């Protein structure tokens, strides 16, 4: 048992920290109800690079309701179903006539060494029907970790290069205010569609 704890103390500590942070955020959100859009904080600005190597500025999407999700394409569990969930939300926004003109998504990798532009293109093509205004972006690893923290997302990397992170999706209004965190493992995509439609008005 002692040997196990010595070998895996980092993963266990990181898991506890992530669980505590996620539980606190979700508790805060659930207490507000599904339709309460109280401002949590101002979203941080950033400049990253898209799959074509072109710069993407957060302020370019000002005026749109936005979703932000931090992920990595080699994720063994939660990132793939979360991205699929977002694709269903995108379909709902297209049906509502607000995709692109009033809403946008940002999928931000925190594993830029493996998530090259080519890898992001391959990953996104599995889920995204319309890549206009769904930005798969990358940047410096440390800067991305700092950015995630500013968005309220916790990420930990162990000595073997593996990642642990909170599986939360961030809802941002058209004035760049963070309004809600969704648990990507349990949220109904219809709820996200309704929220985005409401905040895009």
Ordered by start, the domain boundaries in the chain are 2-199
Q: Indicate the helix (H) or strand (E) that contains 44.
A: none
Distance of CA 102 to the CA centre of its chain: 18
CA distance 41 to 68: 14
In this prediction, residues 89-112 reach a mean pLDDT of 97
CATH topology of domain 2-199: Glutaredoxin (3.40.30)
Q: What is the pLDDT of residue 7?
A: 53
- Residue 130: the pLDDT is 79
Strand partners, 69: 107, 169
Higher pLDDT, 130 or 61: 61
Q: What is the structure's pLDDT at 2?
A: 46
pLDDT bracket for residue 29 (50, 70, 90): very low
Asked whether the beta carbons of 89 and 196 are under 8 A apart, the reply is: yes
φ and ψ at residue 132, rounded to 5 degrees = -65, 125
């Amino acid at each position: 048992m002692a040997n196990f704890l010595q070998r895996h103390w980092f993963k266990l500590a990181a898991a506890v920290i992530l669980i505590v942070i996620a539980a606190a955020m979700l508790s805060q959100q659930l207490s507000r109800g599904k339709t309460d859009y109280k401002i949590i904080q101002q979203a941080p600005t950033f400049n990253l690079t898209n799959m074509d190597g072109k710069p993407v500025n957060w302020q370019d999407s000002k005026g749109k309701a936005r979703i932000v999700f931090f992920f990595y394409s080699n994720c063994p569990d939660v990132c793939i179903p979360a991205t699929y969930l977002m694709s269903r939300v995108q379909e709902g926004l297209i049906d509502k006539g607000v995709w692109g003109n009033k809403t946008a998504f940002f999928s931000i990798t925190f594993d830029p060494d493996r998530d090259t532009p080519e890898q992001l293109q391959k990953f996104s093509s599995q889920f995204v029907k319309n890549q206009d205004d769904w930005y798969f972006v990358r940047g410096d690893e440390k800067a991305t970790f700092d950015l995630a923290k500013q968005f309220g997302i916790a990420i930990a990397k162990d000595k073997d290069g593996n990642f642990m992170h909170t599986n939360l999706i961030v809802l941002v209004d058209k004035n760049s205010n963070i309004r809600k965190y969704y648990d990507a493992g349990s949220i109904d995509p219809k709820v996200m569609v309704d929220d985005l439609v409401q905040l895009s008005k």
